[in-house]
Structure 1
Amino acid sequence: MRKPLYIFSSGRLERRENTLALETEEGRRVIPVNSVSEIKVFGELDVNKRALEFITKNQIPVHFFNHYGYYIGSFYPREALNSGYIILKQAQHYLDEESRIYLAKSFVVGAVNNMLKNLQYYRRRGKNLKDSIERIEEAVKEISEVSSILELMQIEGEIRKTYYSSFDLIIQLSEFSFDHRTKRPPENPLNALISFGNSLLYTTALSEIYRTHLDPRIGYLHETNQRSFTLNLDIAEVFKPVIVDRVIFSLLNKGQIQLKHFEEEVSFSYLNEKGRAIFVKEYEDKLKTTIKHKNLGKVSYRKLIRVECYKLYKHFMEEGVYTPFLGEW
């Protein structure tokens, strides 16, 4: 079974006959290419043309993160499954206002439902989240009435603001207080965890899209513009609460991530290499976790992201109507 390859150390990635060889200060490591689904690079990495050709031939996306652990771009191999017809269908759904707003609302409804599931889960465990839940449930009613993406994004932003303000009640660690959401740059450790986790999920969704006929450049909630990829951002919205946020709650409540796992600069916080390794392990374990799905039986969260892509494909092909994944715990 293929799985992601994370490269934290600086070094060189080369082709060695029909394998990849990673050379770092820790030594040389031979990597069977048929064991790799995607590569996520956090260190300084030298890659030559021969290695990139080999990676392309084996359909392996490579995602790059900067010194602070935040996503900066991808080497996206030539699409093996790309279809001109599905690209046209995606474009039609983007250009038709009614079709686009339907999909955008669906992504937001999925995201908000899964936020509420988190809050309800922790409320059952004694957290005082009643007010937050009621405020979000009231705001959700407005979604069906909006007629523009801008209005939808404003409602989603207010809901997410309420949701994030509840993190302090769930975590209850003074050193990880939320205050308010900051992204570029994240100003405190909790914001750093959210940004890092979201970056991982964006690339995971992008890799899963690559295994389908969909084109990741055409998004619906997130504006299709000069940004290279947007459909992965749309899909990630649905899964942030059930994957990223649950990973953060688990790591902090169990004391696996502590302040010693962060570096601080002026108004800037980010995970150090040890912290990233801890987060990545928990994140990958979460993706492998299986749940009982009413239609699919036992299925992993990673597979659910791929299923979300297939549901969109059927929607574009008019073989079904897209509905987002809704957590049922």
Structure 2
Amino acid sequence: MIPDVSWVTVWGYGSDIRATQKMLIVRDKSAKTAYPLSSLQHLLVVGGHTLETAAISHLIANNISVSFFDIHGEPVGSIRPFGGDACPLRSAQKNLPIHSSAMSVITSAVKSRMMYLNELASGRDDGLFYKGELEILSDASRELEFLITLPELGRIFTLTRNMYYEILSRTVAPEFGYHRREKPPYVDPINAMFAHGYAVLYASISVAAAGAGLDPEIGALYGSVVPTGKNRGGCVLDIMEPLMTPMVDRVVVGMATEDRLSHRYEVSSRCIMSERLMKEFNLRLAESVDSAVINRNVRMYADAVSNGGSGMSF
């Protein structure tokens, strides 16, 4: 099978990775997949696998880099051809037009969240929005293209994001104790699940961004308009922002409204999810966090970086 992007990611544990002079061969428990070396630029190994030294030689001879990550998506190290650049798009990222690029990310995120809120509201008889809320969100979305300064963009982004999470609280049972997005330690299961789901999504995007030659630290919205937070890269967060609602929030809210959380967690100084809850949650995330969509969005972001920021959309 020929990949639709210029990198191949091997996740999890136990795969056997080999290469001939023309093909990369990955065997796992269920299948064997072969990739022509001529189509690749980067192999990303995430977790614990067997990688033959001869395979590394063939990859380097074909000018293909190899990067290693732990199972959480944190980078461990890289092997590159002599003279190779770990992040060939770094210089272009530094020269991105911050305002227009940040606005593209915010617009996509607001659109994604508004669509989901309207979908949730359409299935309720009692109404989801308090008086004026829908108008505030709609006006904020329309106002984006007229904002000139970065602080103005940051204000609208923070306003719409905070309102979104507060409105979501009305869709889940009050006994869960969720009212808004909080900082850790999390004392309710909804925030704890958000955090875990976002970590999974972040790791997936981080690996794909490295494969595309992006510097994960250099963002447009994050790092320039909004702080990134500890151990988080701005580029990854930029790409991640519009994907959080369809890939994570839907899963969390869906499980809460289907009563899949009750009696499956404990709260003391923080919320601890049971093994049974974590297993079901991870299975649903595995279906929702779509690698094809992530790869497509990363490629669009990388292409926009290469083109000086023009055409950046998600």
TM beyond 0.5: yes
Structure 2: state its 5+ residue gaps. 2-7, 19-27, 34-42, 60-64
With over 3 angstroms needed to count, the CA separation of the structure-2 counterparts of 1:313 and 1:254, relative to structure 1, is same
Taking a change above 3 Å as real, the CA distance of residues 247 and 16 of structure 1, as seen in their structure-2 partners, is closer
Alpha-carbon distance in 2 for matches of 1:259, 1:201: 26
Q: Does 1:88 align with 2:91?
A: yes
Q: Which moved more, 1:223-232 or 1:118-127?
A: 223-232
Counterpart of 1:62 in structure 2 is 69
Q: Where do residues 285-296 of structure 1 align in structure 2 (5 Å cutoff)?
A: 285-287=287-289
- 2:298 corresponding residue in structure 1: 309
CA distance in 2, matches of 1:218, 1:115: 24
**TM-aligned CA deviation for residue 34 of structure 1:** 6.9
Residues in 2 aligned to 1:178 and 1:229: alpha-carbon distance in whole angstroms: 27
* Structure-2 change in CA distance of 1:315 and 1:37 (3 Å): closer
Which structure would you say has the larger RCO, counting Cα contacts within 8 Å and 6 or more residues apart?
A: 2
CA contact (8 A) 1:5 1:39 kept: yes
Quick one: which amino acid aligns to residue 140 of structure 2? Answer: A
Report the aligned-residue RMSD: 3.8
Which of the numbers 223, 236, 241 marks the counterpart of 2:240? 236
Q: Counterpart amino acid of 1:87?
A: R
Deviation of 1:167 after TM superposition, in Å, equals 1.5
Deviations 1:202-222 (A, max 9, x none): 111112212313222211111
Question: Number of residue pairs matched?
Answer: 275
- Whole-angstrom CA distance in 1 between matches of 2:176 and 2:195: 14
CA distance in 1, matches of 2:268, 2:54: 39
Give the match for residue 166 of structure 1.
Answer: 167
**Is residue 203 from structure 1 mapped to residue 221 from structure 2 by the alignment?**
no
- Map of 1:213-232 to 2, 5 A cutoff? 213-223=213-223, 227=231, 229-232=233-236
SS of equivalent to 1:77: strand
Note closer, same or farther for the CA distance 1:144–1:52 as it changes in structure 2 (3 Å cut): farther
Mean Cα deviation higher: 213-222 or 74-83: 74-83
2:206/2:236 contact within 8 Å kept = yes
How far apart are the structure 2 equivalents of 1:77 and 1:258? 44
| CA deviation after TM superposition for structure 1 residue 51, in Å | 7.6
**Which residue is equivalent to 2:268?**
265
After TM superposition, the score normalised by the length of structure 2 is 0.72
Change (3 A) 1:112 1:74: same
Q: TM-score, normalised by structure 1?
A: 0.69
Identity of aligned residues (%): 18
2:78 matched residue in structure 1: 77
Equivalences for residues 1-329 of structure 1 within 5 A: 5=11, 39=46, 59=66, 61-63=68-70, 73-75=74-76, 77-78=78-79, 85-93=88-96, 99-126=97-124, 128-131=127-130, 132-171=133-172, 173-223=173-223, 227=231, 229-260=233-264, 262-266=265-269, 268-287=270-289, 301-318=290-307, 321-325=310-314
**Structure 1: 5+ residue runs without aligned partners?**
8-12, 19-29, 41-46, 66-70, 94-98, 288-300
